[in-house]
Structure 1
């Protein structure tokens, strides 16, 4: 049990030293600048800014004069970044934002089509339906993917025409390529189907202008988080150009899912948006260059890298099959070498998801991606001595503890 702040400080120092020696390739993590992180300690963290969706000025608590001003200014930044007319910043995470969209837009018995967990979906509606009350009121089916791990557009259009869902949710935690939002949009409008986009993983790439903006391609609503390819504080958001939809979602979010919406993240979010407006395009382009370079290098080293026929990836991540090299949990195995990534066993064989947002932010470029690929080979194919390889990875990682594309 912790008994002093000195013990807290010591644990934080240990964590910092440990992570500086790790090669962080977790696609859902990033490294916020010191300036952005400093705002998380603002006095906002002890305040309540609860408001009604229809009138944000009508705050439940008093003393919100400048909190209201700041929240509205931050909303304007988000609107401008994502080219949206309406925004709700009350979700404290991307998953909560998604739940607000699903529960706010559906009627009992409606059908949703989303990305399944086996295709690196975020596990939104499917896991929700493990709760009996949701299972009795929401129906869910899954879109199909092709051999390159891209949405099969032809099959999806056929599925939508036949099944007539109320909602289609694009996006997930393994998005390699742009989804066919634009292709589905006219058909969805004709059928009365709504299109939502889970941008949690590609938020930073959208904000940087290097990936499709779903709202401009025909999506009715978009939700996500701000701490993956987007190098901001943890948190969620919902944006739309349809006032009725955003109000339905907002009335669902509050007060049933969230009341006190963690105001201390708003100054950090505002700072990260200003940062990405200044440095984002250069950062986003380098992320994609690094992803493709790493994918090509891993392929050359003998790994099965998905999406090869389409250039491997257009985002911050790549997917790698490891069935030939391991039948155990590869992420835990690699962690022993100080390589951090994510794995998945829901398909026929183990896969890892490798992301480049943080290593790019620390200054790594294409040449370093080749070195990283060699570390994977040494660990998984050559089965090299753990202590030797771990020491090499630590030495390599500690060369890149600075920060680029930031204040």
Structure 2
């Protein structure tokens, strides 16, 4: 058993003992388990006789079949299971589907069945998969469900119902023998770059499963399952394209003398260096039931532990045990055994079972659970890809990166080992600069707020004037007190509605000759502030805070402010842009770069180079998907706004502008009390926003961002559905638990817009030693 491996026992010292389990089950035969065990010879006779008294008492329940009167039997079985659980004090029920392979005609998705209300047309019964009845039974009694067969139990309607009710499930088709070895060997050929030209498999077995597979239809279902993994692992079909159907063959034959033993002959033709032809042959002999039961017991253990840890829905990491692993959304399954095992191990490490943790780890486990089945919709947050996040764990997190302003060579550092770190920092700055159209970048600031602090400090002296966006027009609330701490005179950028009045501002600037005009807006629905001032006094620096629109600028959805009259940009890199927490200063003027660097040299002692490295990674990845992400982000904001309006909720819009131009949606509440109530309701349903006094005198409400939903793969139709779920929760038509179930179902059907490729992740882990 996998769970008996030393590494798993160390991670899970209190594994559920098999001796504590209560077993029951269904079959088409009326034999006792003792009679069946003797007849099928699934294990040594003396082992059967040792347990004969217990086996003789264990009566098999009559199978639930798709036949007239099934509804009554369904109710009887669900009542019996719930009664057994209550009477025994059992913690949970887990149903394992071990039914025979069903004919191909039962594998079609049934579209005319109302699974929620158990309404199945009579004419659908003859071709109905038995496996679906047992999945529906699991949903009915709140049981975990393991589909160990190749039968298609998991139809979209049943999965939707299972997700909504928080059912744990996994599958499909247990991988125990010849296919398991295939998924072990195929990665070896792939990793060694040995070309597989053909793979011939011949399987014989003599038990009831082998007898059932005599049926050509059932055999086809099984063979299709056994063939599925090889091409996925290799990345190609063996043999020449016109011969691929014959170059990978799988045959299954019933041979009674073998009994429960199964045997597989495999011949692999492959070529190596210079196309030299080679072969590998292996003969596999195993006990069918013994191999299967070990995996079944492992799976039951994992489901018990997962339920205790608060997991719900599909347990995708258990794909290690299956030929046809189920995945979330439209993601292709991983078949390579080595990678699957690592995913399983990581899953167990991260399951965070409280009884095995203490101190900090217990709190981290609680935090991880709090993030399950949820979606952050803060306008000021985003998530990083795996590769970007992983880079934060490298050795650079322990190193200083101090630039010497007295040395004109960009990137020079005044600590030992300076040259390699210098090269890294220079590369990061150039990568970021190329994405936003800046020739000079300074990544010393640790955050957007620190970047703003440095901006004021670099270009203003006490007594000088600075123009800012005030709070009522969406300006960052901390900038005004910060400027006054520096002894600056604060004046405000004028607005007409939600749009800055650039003509009036031009006149004010010409008159006041400020040291700095800083467009520091953090709450915005339109982007007119991107247009800077065409003419300013020579002593005035015009700066734009790009924190909330950086993803749109980098995705080339909007013009860079550096092309529209601004001298420099500052901001953070973790809002609409999916990077780490980092601040930046960027410009096309070497003079401004030198002034910023010189004036702020004593403000920060270390720029945290690991954050710069993670930012460079985010930039490289963003070049691949950023344009699509930026386009979707704004479309999704408008889609959510329309969904709210369709539900009769008050969405704030700029007067005269039809659509939202940023990532933000503002939802107006009646007052602060209602805004807080809405915030709490959504939080209870796993949707995290923030309530606040909205800009432009719009009272209290919610400010909502679409960054993470978009990066998770949501498109306009998905966001419209999300809006309906949120509206139902706001109006208390859904409970918090029901909201999380709907959210889980919605998110499970999404495919991330981008994720770091596995080979890149492997390289990063190797380079940083994780």
Q: TM-score, normalised to structure 2's length?
A: 0.48
Q: Deviations over 1:272-331 (max 9, x none)?
A: 100011111111111111111112222222213222631332121122322369545343
The answer to whether structure 1 residue 259 and structure 2 residue 594 are counterparts is no
Cα distance change, pair 371–181 in 1 and its aligned pair in 2 (3 A): closer
Q: Which residue among 88, 92, 105 is the counterpart of 2:442? A: 88
Greater C-alpha radius of gyration: 2
Structure-1 residue corresponding to 2:595: 248
1:283–1:398: structure 2 CA closer, same or farther, 3 Å change rule? closer
**Structure 1 CA distance for aligned equivalents of residues 698 and 390 of structure 2:** 44
Residue among 722, 728, 741 paired with 1:372: 722
Bigger drift between 291-300 and 164-173 goes to 164-173
1:299–1:328 CA distance, 2 compared to 1 (3 A)? closer
Q: Which residue of 2 aligns with 1:179?
A: 528
State how far apart, in whole Å, the 1-side matches of 2:672 and 2:403 are: 53
Shifted more, 277-286 versus 336-345: the winner is: 336-345
| Aligned residues of 2:435 and 2:554 also touching (Cα < 8 A) | yes
Distance between the aligned counterparts of 1:397 and 1:197, measured in 2?
A: 37
Task: Give the alignment partner of residue 361 of structure 1, picking from 711, 714, 717.
Answer: 711
Residue 78 of structure 1 deviates from its aligned partner by: 1.6
Superposed displacement of residue 345, structure 1: 2.0
Distance 2:467 2:398 in 1: 39
Residue 107 of structure 1: aligned partner: 461
Aligned counterparts of 1:262 and 1:15: Cα–Cα separation in 2 = 25
Rounded to whole Å, the distance in 1 between the matches of 2:533 and 2:747 is 47
- In 2, are the aligned partners of 1:283 and 1:405 still within 8 Å (CA)? no
Match of 2:495 among 122, 127, 145: 145
Q: Does 1:16 align with 2:363?
A: no
1:286 counterpart = 2:632 = yes
**Range that drifts further, 343-352 or 59-68:** 343-352
**Alignment partners' CA distance in 1, 2:682 and 2:752:** 25
Contact in 1 for aligned 2:445/2:584 (Cα 8 Å): yes
How far off its partner does 1:233 sit?
A: 1.1
1:167 paired to 2:519: no
Per-residue CA distance 1:108-162 (angstroms, 9 max, x = gap): 211111122233322343021464xx2xx20112224343x33233443344344
- Deviation readout 1:315-362 (Å, 9 max, x if unpaired): 211223223695453434532332211222264610321111100111
Separation in 1 of the partners of 2:366 and 2:751? Answer: 18
Q: Is the 8 A contact 2:675 2:701 kept in 1?
A: no
Change (3 A) 1:240 1:207: same
Q: 3-state SS of the aligned residue for 2:600?
A: helix
Give the direction of change, closer, same or farther, for the CA distance of 1:327–1:145 in structure 2 (3 Å limit): farther
Distance 1:308 1:291, change over 3 A: farther
Give the 3 Å change call, closer, same or farther, for CA 221–395 of structure 1 in structure 2: same
SS of equivalent residue, structure 1 residue 311: coil
1:60 pairs with 398, 401, 414, which one?
A: 414
User: Which of 198, 208, 216 does residue 563 from structure 2 map onto?
Assistant: 216
Q: Distance in 2 between matches of 1:279 and 1:128?
A: 37
What's the offset of the Cα at 1:12? 3.2
1:18 offset after TM fit, Å?
2.4
| SS of equivalent to 1:28 | coil
Q: Report SS of the residue matched to 1:318.
A: strand
- Of 385-394 and 160-169, deviating more is 385-394
Which of residues 637, 657, 661 in structure 2 aligns to 1:314?
661
Instruction: Say whether residues 1:345 and 2:693 are aligned partners.
Output: yes
Distance 1:108 1:75 in 2: 31
Residue 99 of structure 1 deviates from its aligned partner by 0.9
Distance in 2, Cα, partners of 1:199 & 1:20: 31
Q: Could you tell me the TM-score, scaled by structure 1's length?
A: 0.88
Q: Which residue of 2 aligns with 1:50?
A: 402
Distance 1:390 1:63, change over 3 A: same
Q: Distance between the aligned counterparts of 1:237 and 1:252, measured in 2?
A: 15
**Aligned match of 2:575:** 228
Query: What secondary structure does 1:51 align onto?
Result: coil
CA distance in 1, matches of 2:399, 2:357: 24
> What secondary structure, in the 3-state scheme, does the structure 2 residue paired with 1:140 have?
strand
* Structure 1 position 363, deviation (Å): 1.2
Residue pair 2:506, 2:533 contacting (<8 A) in 1 also: no
- Indicate the structure whose relative CO is greater, using CA pairs within 8 Å and at least 6 residues apart: 1
**CA–CA distance in 2 between the matches of 1:394 and 1:296?**
19
Distance 1:91 1:390 in 2: 40
- Report the alpha carbon displacement of residue 93 of structure 1 after superposing the two structures with TM: 0.5
Offset, 1:229? 0.9
1:11–1:402: structure 2 CA closer, same or farther, 3 Å change rule?
farther
Cα distance, 1:226–1:391 mapped onto 2, change above 3 Å: closer
- Relative to structure 1, the CA distance from residue 268 to residue 310 in structure 2 (aligned partners, 3 Å threshold; closer, same or farther) is same
Please list every run of at least 4 consecutive aligned residues from structure 1 whose deviation after the TM superposition is greater than 6 angstroms.
none
**How well do the aligned residues superpose, as a CA RMSD in angstroms?**
2.6
The aligned length equals: 396
Gaps of 5+ in 2: 1-353, 757-770
Any conservation in 2 of the 1:91–1:253 contact (CA below 8 Å)? no
Q: Distance in 2 between matches of 1:113 and 1:266?
A: 30
Indicate whether 1:268 and 2:614 are aligned. Answer: yes
